[in-house]
Structure 1
Amino acid sequence: MDTCCLEMHFFILCYIIYQKIQLINVDLTMLRVDTNITNNYPFLLPSGDRYVKLNIVNSFNYSGFKFNGMSKACFVRYLRIKYQLTVEAVKNLNDVFGIQLGLFLCTLWLMTSLTMYYDLTRGEHSSYDNITISKIILYGWVLQYTTRFILITLIAHTTTKEACKTKVLITDINNRFLDPGTKEELQLFFNQISSNSMEFTACDFFTLNTHLITSAIAAGTTYLVILLQFNSSNKQ
C-alpha cells in the first residue's frame, strides 16, 4: 500500500511539472505566431487586438506579454526563469524518488517475470483444482504490475518529450527577424536548455522513457525462455 502511494505521489508531481512545461510551450507558441505575423505583415501595428480582429491568430488568446506591458525580451526572460525553476523541480524529484523508482521498477519487472514463469511451470502442482480461476488471479497480478510499470514510465517520458518541444520552439523563433535584445534572451534560453537536460532517471542507472519498456519486455522474455529451458532440462 505504501509503495502504491509513493508511486501515485510521483505520478501526480510529474504531471504537475508536465503542465508547467506545457504552459511555457503555449506561451512560446504565441510568441512564435506573433513573430511570424510581424515578419510577414510588417505594415501592421504590433497590436494583439488588431491581429485578433483580422482573424490571423484567432485561435490564440493574447493575454501574455502584450497586455502585461512586457517587451518580447522581457517575456522570453520570464519564460526562461520559469523553465529553470521547472528544471530544478525535476532535479529535486530525481533526488527524492530516484532510489524508490529504481527499486519499484525492478521489483515490478521481477514480479511480472516470476509470475509468468510460475504460471508456465505450475502444471506439476496439484494444489490448484480450478485452473481457470487461478489463471485469472495470476494474470490479474501481472496486469497490475505491468500497468504500474507503464504508467510511471510513460508520465516521465511524456514530460521529457514536452520539454524537448521547448527547444524546437526557441530554435524556430530565433530564426526569425527580431530585435537584438530578444535574440540575446533566446540564445541564453537555448544555451540553458542545452546545458540542463530534463529527464527522469532512477539513480542515474537508467532513464525513464519508452525504451525502458521495450528493454524490460526483451529482457523479461529472454530470461523467461532461459528459465523454461533449465526447467525442461531438469525434468529430463
Structure 2
Amino acid sequence: MIRVVNTEYIDLLRFKVDRTQRHAQVVNLAIALNKTYGMQILLLLTIYSLLILLSSHYVVVGIFAFRGKTGLLVINTVLHSFTLIYAWIQVILIISNCEMCQRSVDAFYRELFRLMRESKTLCSNKKLCLYVSMRKTVNFTACGFFNLGYPLITSIIAAATTYLVILVQFSIPKT
C-alpha cells in the first residue's frame, strides 16, 4: 500500500514538473512572439487608431450633413460606419488576445502556488519552488512603446474623442 501511494506521488510530482516545463516553454514562446511581432502590432494599432479617428469624423460629418440629402452621402456614411466597426473589432481582438494570454499565465502561477501551499511534499521539490519564485511573466507591448491591455482601449477612445471634437468644429460649415 505504501509503495502504491509512493509511486502515485512520484507520478504526480513528475506530472507537475513536466507541466511547469511546458508552461515555461509557452511563456518563452509568447515573449519571443512579442519581440518578433512588436513592430507589426505597433503599426496595426496606429493604422487602426487613425482609421477609427477618420471614420468617426466622416460618420459625424455625414450625420450632420444628412439634413435633406440622400444618396451618395448616406452610402458614404454607412460605409464609414462599417469601417469604424471593423477597426474597433480588430483593436479589441488584438488586445483581448494579449490580455487572455497574460491572464492564463498568471492563473497557472496562482494554481501552482495554491497546490504547493496545500501539499508539503510539493514544497520540498526545489525545481517547483524555484519556478514559482521566479514567476516569469508575459507583458505584451507594441514594440516597447505601450502595453497592450484594456487601458489602451480607453486611451484610444479618449484620444479619438478629443481629436474628433476638434475636427468636427472646423469641418462643419456654419449655416
Structure 1 stretches lacking a partner, 5+ long: 1-44, 48-64
Against the structure 1 CA distance between its residues 137 and 180, is the aligned structure 2 distance closer, same or farther, given a 3 Å change threshold?
Answer: closer
Aligned residues: 168
Q: Report the CA distance between 1:192 and its aligned residue.
A: 2.7
8 Å contact 1:90–1:198 — kept in the other structure?
A: yes
Q: Report the CA distance between 1:102 and its aligned residue.
A: 0.4
Q: State the AA in 1 paired with 2:45.
A: L
8 Å contact 2:117–2:123 — kept in the other structure?
A: no
Q: Residue 31 of structure 2: which of 68, 80, 91 is its match?
A: 91
Against the structure 1 CA distance between its residues 188 and 76, is the aligned structure 2 distance closer, same or farther, given a 3 Å change threshold?
Answer: farther
Q: Residue 225 of structure 1: which of 148, 165, 172 is its match?
A: 165
Q: Which has the higher helix share?
A: 2
Partner of 1:185: 127
Q: Report the CA distance between 1:128 and its aligned residue.
A: 7.2
Computed over aligned residues only, the root mean square deviation of the Cα atoms, in angstroms, reads 2.8
8 Å contact 2:122–2:128 — kept in the other structure?
A: no
* Separation in structure 1 between the aligned mates of residue 72 and residue 154 of structure 2, nearest angstrom: 33
Structure 2 stretches lacking a partner, 5+ long: none
Partner of 2:99: 157
Q: Residue 77 of structure 2: which of 132, 135, 138 is its match?
A: 135
Against the structure 1 CA distance between its residues 230 and 222, is the aligned structure 2 distance closer, same or farther, given a 3 Å change threshold?
Answer: same
1:82 aligns with 2:22: yes
Partner of 2:40: 100
Percent of residue pairs bearing the same amino acid type? 24
TM-score (norm 1): 0.62
8 Å contact 2:112–2:132 — kept in the other structure?
A: yes
Partner of 2:111: 169
Q: Report the CA distance between 1:131 and its aligned residue.
A: 3.4
Against the structure 1 CA distance between its residues 128 and 115, is the aligned structure 2 distance closer, same or farther, given a 3 Å change threshold?
Answer: farther
Partner of 2:88: 146
